[in-house]
Amino acid sequence: MKLVDEAEIQVIAGNGGNGCIGFRREKFIPLGGPDGGDGGNGGSVWLVADENLNTLVDFRHEKTFRAQRGENGMGRQMYGKAGEDLTITVPVGTVITNVETDEVIGDLIRHGDRLLVAKGGKGGLGNMHFKSSVTRAPRKATPGEEGEQRLLRLELKLLADVGLLGFPNAGKSTFIRAVSAATPKVADYPFTTLYPNLGVVSVEAHRSFVIADIPGLIEGAAEGAGLGAQFLRHLQRTRLLLHLVDMAPMEGGVEGIAPAEQVRAIERELMKHDPALLDKPRWLILNKADLMFEDEARERAEQIVAELDWMHPWYQVSAISREGTWPIMQDVMAFFDRQREEAEEARNAG
């Protein structure tokens, strides 16, 4: 299933029930006092994070969610029943924004996180509350309050460990197919990937991580060019970036841009969107080595690395034949293992 990562929904909390105007009517008590009960509170609307969900696609079909109204108060000091709360499940990693104010009101990052997005109206008061020494038979009750209504934008930031970035046709979709069970569409034209694709890479039993294939970026993506703009944010929560580059000859690179310049162009887009992205660990993956002779491919790879003055890990692979892809996944798993060990040592030291 393709990931749908943004949706707008209307949430409407239940109105409070009205207070009741009532009087005691019992045998032998001709002048019974007021006994109108209060209305019940309206139900509220909650969002709850569920790790079993990974898409917002259901909100494309159902956009309005309404909690139950509180019941009206009744005679004999009987309170109306409160309306039931409405709980809406969303994927872990969903950011909730109030569309009218553009204010982020919540970020559900853990399974079971709850967020109140629309509070139910308070029930009205019955006339039993308005009795006094002056007013013995009040004919006054208050209506229930209206429940809150909000138009919300739900935005899912992928909670992937590894993010693949690169120009269109750099081979990201082919790469994720080579290393995981994900089956993104692959073709030889730009922007094949319309939505991020998630894949789970299982190195061995109980040792796995999630990798996200982000749609190809082009220069100007941070300002809205191409499809990359709306997906740059998906890189923010990854722990490691794999930067795929087509190793094609200088005069025939992707979109006519030489490999080293492809890297620099995307670095500029990352800087414009969020400079912190450039501080993330980023490894260089030089892809499509199968299109050249072995010696030529190695020479080209070293030339690109030298031109970039690349100081981080780099690899030469052929994603379509899967040559060289698995050692990268093993190194990624080892990298995450070291991160966990360092974090545990820091906690113990603290």
* Domain boundaries along the sequence of the chain: 6-156, 162-349
Question: What pLDDT, on the 0 to 100 scale, is given for residue 115?
Answer: 96
For residue 166, how far is the Cα from the chain centroid? 22
Question: What pLDDT, on the 0 to 100 scale, is given for residue 299?
Answer: 92
User: Over 60: is that where the pLDDT of 222 sits?
Assistant: no
How sure is the predictor about 146, in pLDDT bands with cuts at 50, 70 and 90?
A: very high
Question: What pLDDT, on the 0 to 100 scale, is given for residue 258?
Answer: 85
Q: What is the pTM of this model?
A: 0.56
**Dist CA 2 CA 169 (whole Å):** 19
**Dist CA 247 CA 260 (whole Å):** 9
Joined together, the tokens standing for residue 271 give 């800087």
* Token pair 């006094």 in the structure block, residue: 132
User: Over 90: is that where the pLDDT of 292 sits?
Assistant: no
User: Over 50: is that where the pLDDT of 248 sits?
Assistant: yes
Helix (H, G, I), strand (E, B) or coil at 118: strand
Which residues are bridge partners to 163 per DSSP? 212, 241
User: Over 90: is that where the pLDDT of 116 sits?
Assistant: yes
pLDDT digits (tens, 9 = 90+) for 311-334: 999 999 999 898 999 999 999 999
Question: What pLDDT, on the 0 to 100 scale, is given for residue 287?
Answer: 92
**Dist CA 175 CA 150 (whole Å):** 42
Q: Are 79 and 108 in contact (CB under 8 A)?
A: no
pLDDT (average), residues 149-157? 89
The residue type of 77 is: Q
In SS3 terms, 142-158 reads as: CCCCCCCEEEEEEEECC
Between 226 and 99, the higher pLDDT residue = 99
Answer CATH for 6-156 from 2.70.210.12, 3.10.580.20, 3.20.19.10, 3.30.1180.20:
2.70.210.12
**Fold for the domain defined by 162-349:** Rossmann fold (3.40.50)
pLDDT digits (tens, 9 = 90+) for 54-96: 677 778 778 999 999 999 998 888 898 999 999 999 988 889 9
Question: What pLDDT, on the 0 to 100 scale, is given for residue 93?
Answer: 84
